[in-house]
Amino acid sequence: MDFDLLRFAAGYPYNLDFDYGALSQLQHFSINNLGDPFIESNYGVHSRQFEVGVLDWFARLWEIERDEYWGYITNCGTEGNLHGILMGREVFPDGILYASRESHYSVFKAARMYRMECVKVDCLTSGEIDCSDLKKQLLANKDKPAILNVNIGTTVKGAVDDLDLVIKTLEENGFPQDRFYIHCDGALFGLMMPFVKRAPKVSFKKPIGSVSVSGHKFVGCPMPCGVQLTRMSHIKVLSSNVEYLASRDATIMGSRNGHAPIFLWYTLNKKGYKGFQKEVQKCLRNAHYLKDKLRDAGISAMLNELSSTVVFERPHDEEFVRRWQLACQGNIAHVVVMPNVTIEKLDGFLEELAEKRKLWYKGSGGDGVAPSPPCVAVDIGSENCDCGLHK
């Protein structure tokens, strides 16, 4: 593994600014959290106390009482989505899954795995779910309950679906609270949004069924993991006794990483609310810096209001894409500004991109026509596009 590549990591939402030296001795132990986090199994080397401590921290963040929630620490964000959507399917076996086209691929993977009917809902240019199209799709299927995936930060554009508007759309079109289930996929921004001033809330005081976040993204856990919370009233339909474990289980996986809860607990308590708020403000500030610098340089770019994901025209050279480990889709790419992405790193990226663009778009292509930057008006809006047609 080339650790030097970490200096250029910019396209994926991993917080690499961490130091877990104090926990290094834990690698000498095989720590396995089997089964239900709230019920001990016969395997003695576990970290359930830390796992429940982490779950309680998120329960307070998402406003649900301790005796009203159930959850566990997953192996990744995808597992959180698989569990949340399974929960919805178990509550409404004949329900239809609705998800925006820009939802994470794991949502559609869940639909295939569970053999669920799935409706893809159109998006606004920002990447946010289009509630006018959601209304149209709901009215076409009024006879079946609705299971919704709501994005708290889409994968490519970092768009946050309007949870309150989604709930209003459901209730105004014949879907009372006993006929819908909402899972909130907060993989990255689900932990950042609570620390953004005047941002809308993700809260169990609203009629949602579950929320999941990733632990290896904004939190900065060194191994993939996540947190999944749902309502205690829902989990009873999924939970079953497992004699082999001497426990109950309602998780997706059997064995679960017992190190992850300790690392998460350590970070949550070390940083606290104030520490996370400071890091969120830094990320948003640096994201605006990057977007402004790109636009000043004549490069098409967009940044959603509730996001640290800067979307811009896809670089012409795949070697540049690999060097900076950019995530691309069609004509666009993005940089996800995490706490480890400093102004110095962004300046290095901008300088190299500007120099490369001079080479990419200089001279003529093979057909004698001078190459030009791609038009990305369809992807990020004409107001954010700096191609020849939209300058």
Report percent pLDDT > 90 for the chain.
Answer: 81
pLDDT for position 11: 86
Answer yes or no: are the C-beta atoms of 106 and 80 closer than 8 Å.
Answer: no
Closest CA to 365 of 373, 356, 377: 373
pLDDT for position 365: 46
- Read off the pTM: 0.94
pLDDT for position 249: 75
Q: What are the residue ranges in the chain where pLDDT is below 50? A: 364-366
Report the run of H or E that residue 148 belongs to, with start and end: strand 146-151
Task: Tell me the CA distances in angstroms from 194 to 189, 201, 330, one per residue in order.
Answer: 9, 7, 31
Sheet holding 96-100, edge to edge: 69-74, 226-231, 210-214, 180-185, 146-151, 96-100, 118-121
Answer yes or no: are the C-beta atoms of 64 and 204 closer than 8 Å.
Answer: yes
Point out the residues that are catalytic. Answer: 307
Q: Tokens 């998460």 sit at which residue?
A: 264
- The one-letter code for the residue type at 100 is S
pLDDT for position 238: 78
The structural domains of the chain, ordered by start, are: 18-271 (3.40.640.10), 272-384 (3.90.1150.10)
Q: What digits encode the pLDDT tens for the residues 316-325?
A: 999 999 999 9
Q: How far apart are alpha carbons 145 and 175 in whole angstroms? A: 7
325: left (phi over 0), alpha (psi -120 to 50) or beta: left
Q: How far apart are alpha carbons 214 and 74 in whole angstroms? A: 9
Q: What digits encode the pLDDT tens for the residues 2-30?
A: 556 667 788 888 888 888 999 999 999 99
pLDDT for position 40: 80
Report percent pLDDT > 70 for the chain.
Answer: 94
Question: In 102-155, which residue ranges form alpha helices assigned H by DSSP?
Answer: 105-113, 131-139
